[in-house]
Amino acid sequence: MKSRKILSLVAAGLLTAAFITGCGSNSSSEASSTGTAAGSTSAASSSSGAQVTKVKVAYDQASKPISWLDENGNATGYDVEVMKLVDELLPEYEFEYVGTSSDDLLLGVEQGKYQVGVKNAFWTQERTEKFIFPKEFLGLSSTGLVLKKQNENIKTLADFAKAGFTLAPIAANNAQYTIIDEYNKANPDNKVKLEAGDNFTVDVVQWVNEGRVDGGVIIEGVFNKQVKADEGQYHNLVNDVVYNEFAVIKTWPLFNKKEQAFADAYDTAVKKLKDEKKTNEQSVKFYGKDLFEVLAKVNR
């Protein structure tokens, strides 16, 4: 009898110990999970257990075919789609695309509201003081002049300046202003009449059509969207105005000054995309031609 009682007490003790151990194990697991969630801000754990950093990618949502918000509410365009391919190669990052205006993009990236912004941005010395320019450019942009049909013989900035033509004003913080200013400094005896405007951009096609100016600087993709496309707002002028390219220029993503590690990761990814000709494919898709074919001639 006594021995049976002792065995019963031992068994009960073992069951109690097992129950306590189980409870302790669950509590420890919950505490660990709660701790991870509480400490997570811009980083989260992926299914593999690695840390994933969430970043905001701002894009100009009204700059088709470079970047825009499509009819289904999705971010798209050359700049955006290449950044999506970059995202696929960077499992340690999770991209969130934020559509905004060109001005808000510049200010937001500078202040850290967004980690990076894409807007067909050209390199300027002034911008290097506010943003990180990565080693690898994002794409290429055909830049040219909108002219009346009767002035289609004007092919270069030198031709434009020699004719004494007037140019639509460009905001001083717009990189297009820098392009013309650089030309003027290199050609002091044949300058383009350059006027700083109050707005970042003006409606150059309309200004030229109305005769307010003789020409205006525009991106080919924007000209095609506004004039050549059947649904373009100025398609009625397709036989009245022309686009004459005067330069193909590299374009860049703009990174916040604190995002050097992110910029380095981008460099590795986009270099791979270029080697695989993925950027060439996107250029054909959105611009109708492979701008990378003239890369050897691009000096800016």
What's the CA gap between 26 and 234, in Å, rounded? 67
- Which helix (DSSP H) or strand (DSSP E) does residue 68 occupy? strand 67-69
Among 215, 233, 249, the domain boundary falls at 249
Average pLDDT score over residue span 64-89 = 95
What's the CA gap between 258 and 263, in Å, rounded? 10
Average pLDDT score over residue span 16-39 = 34
Indicate whether 133 and 147 sit together in one domain: no
List the domain range (segments joined by +) for residue 225: 141-249
Judge whether residue 82 has pLDDT over 90: yes
Which residues contact residue 242 at a Cβ distance below 8 angstroms, ignoring those fewer than 6 apart?
Answer: 146, 147, 148, 149, 151, 152
Tell me, what's the pLDDT at 10?
Answer: 38
Indicate whether 88 and 151 sit together in one domain: no
DSSP state of 123: P
Indicate whether 277 and 291 sit together in one domain: yes
Report for 41-45, 57-61, 197-201: range of highest mean pLDDT: 57-61
Average pLDDT score over residue span 227-237 = 94
4: confidence class by pLDDT, cuts 50, 70, 90: very low
Tell me, what's the pLDDT at 50?
Answer: 74
Indicate whether 213 and 136 sit together in one domain: no
- Please indicate, yes or no, if residue 21 is contained in any of the structural domains: no
- Please indicate, yes or no, if residue 20 is contained in any of the structural domains: no
Judge whether residue 257 has pLDDT over 70: yes
pTM of the predicted model as reported, rounded to 2 decimal places: 0.77
- Tell me the percentage of the chain whose pLDDT exceeds 90: 73
- Please indicate, yes or no, if residue 226 is contained in any of the structural domains: yes
CB 94 within 8 A of CB 54: yes
Helix (H, G, I), strand (E, B) or coil at 156: coil
- Please indicate, yes or no, if residue 127 is contained in any of the structural domains: yes
Indicate whether 229 and 257 sit together in one domain: no
What's the CA gap between 171 and 59, in Å, rounded? 20
Helix (H, G, I), strand (E, B) or coil at 48: coil
> What is the number of other CB atoms lying within 10 angstroms of the CB of residue 40?
13
Task: Indicate which CATH number applies to the domain containing 124.
Answer: 3.40.190.10
Which residues are paired to 245 by β-bridges?
144
Indicate whether 221 and 265 sit together in one domain: no
Judge whether residue 13 has pLDDT over 70: no
172: confidence class by pLDDT, cuts 50, 70, 90: confident
Q: Which CA distances in Å does 121 have to 137, 213, 251?
A: 10, 25, 5
Question: Which residue intervals of 89-242 are DSSP H helices?
Answer: 102-111, 125-128, 157-162, 175-186, 204-210, 220-223
- Please indicate, yes or no, if residue 27 is contained in any of the structural domains: no
Q: Which CA distances in Å does 142 have to 57, 93, 295?
A: 24, 31, 11
Indicate whether 165 and 242 sit together in one domain: yes
Indicate whether 119 and 148 sit together in one domain: no
Judge whether residue 234 has pLDDT over 50: yes
Indicate whether 117 and 257 sit together in one domain: yes
Radius of gyration over every alpha carbon of the chain, rounded to an integer in angstroms: 29
Q: What is the count of structural domains for the chain?
A: 2
What's the CA gap between 143 and 247, in Å, rounded? 5
14: confidence class by pLDDT, cuts 50, 70, 90: very low
Indicate whether 66 and 118 sit together in one domain: yes
> What is the number of other CB atoms lying within 10 angstroms of the CB of residue 247?
17
Judge whether residue 189 has pLDDT over 80: yes
End-to-end CA distance of the chain: 98
Q: Which one is predicted more confidently, 113 or 295? A: 113
Judge whether residue 83 has pLDDT over 70: yes
Least confidently predicted of 38-42, 75-79, 199-203: 38-42
Mean pLDDT estimate for the chain: 85
What's the CA gap between 199 and 137, in Å, rounded? 27
Q: Using one digit for the tens of pLDDT, what is the confidence trace for 270-287?
A: 999 999 999 999 999 999
- Please indicate, yes or no, if residue 24 is contained in any of the structural domains: no
